[in-house]
Amino acid sequence: MATFDKIRSGVEGIDKALDFIRLGDNVVWQVSDIQEYSFFVKRLARQAIKEKRNLIYIRFAQHKPLLKPQEGLKIVKLDTNAGFESFTVAVHEIIEHQGQEAFYVFDSISELQVAWSADLMMGNFFVVTCPFLFELNTIAYFAIIRGRHSFNTIARIRETTQILVDVYSDGNEMYIHPLKVW
């Protein structure tokens, strides 16, 4: 496949609204709680497994796992307590090893702020990781929890990512508001 090829998200409405996700896209879901993010993650995973894609779940957070072990899914568990540099190097080694066109699901990166006690470090992780993912024509899903981060950190994420989507839920329906679609 080539850079910018259209990729199905597993949610027809998302595909229509965004004109699909493209190889190289880092998609950031700004959510109120992890269950909203989980909705999109599970559907991407189902689609990726159906299409026999190389799907990797990067697990590091304290929240409930987003995906259960299943055929077609690699789960890599990392320790955030090792610190920013060790964690970031480990993620980059995984990305390098998995190569071109891999699909990634990351736990909520808001958890990195908790682990490292610094909004700046969470933002730094995102800013140094996303260009590498883009370079390798991957698809990567990230979540940030609304209201937990500084304006500057959100601005850096928005500047770096290809797609930023605000998600709202009233308990019955879920709504998306694309803030950036590259």
- pLDDT-derived band of residue 171, with 50, 70 and 90 as boundaries? confident
Mean pLDDT of the chain: 94
Instruction: Count structural domains, the chain.
Output: 1
Determine the Cα–Cα distance for residues 58 and 67; give it in Å rounded to an integer: 10
* Residue labelled with tokens 């299943």: 70
Please give the residue range of the domain that contains residue 149: 6-181
- Is 59 a member of any domain? yes
Q: How far apart are CA 133 and CA 103, in angstroms?
A: 10
What is the domain-level CATH number for residue 87?
3.40.50.300
Task: Give the dihedral sign, CA 77/136/122/165.
Answer: negative
What's the token pair of residue 17? 């609204």
> pTM for the whole thing?
0.95
> 1 in a domain, yes or no?
no
- Give which of 123, 130, 178 is closest to 26, Cα–Cα: 130
Name the residue type at position 5: D
Q: Which of 69-73, 90-94, 168-172 has the lowest mean pLDDT?
A: 168-172
pLDDT at 85 over 80: yes
Pick the closest to residue 144 from 61, 68, 69, 33 (CA basis).
33
23-77 pLDDT, tens digit each: 999 999 999 999 999 999 999 999 999 999 999 999 999 999 999 999 999 999 9
Question: Is the model's pLDDT at 3 over the cut of 60?
Answer: no
What is the distance between the alpha carbons of residues 74 and 110, in angstroms, rounded to a whole number? Answer: 22
Rounded distance between C-alpha atoms, residue 93 and residue 58, angstroms: 12
Tell me, yes or no, whether 140 lies in a domain.
yes
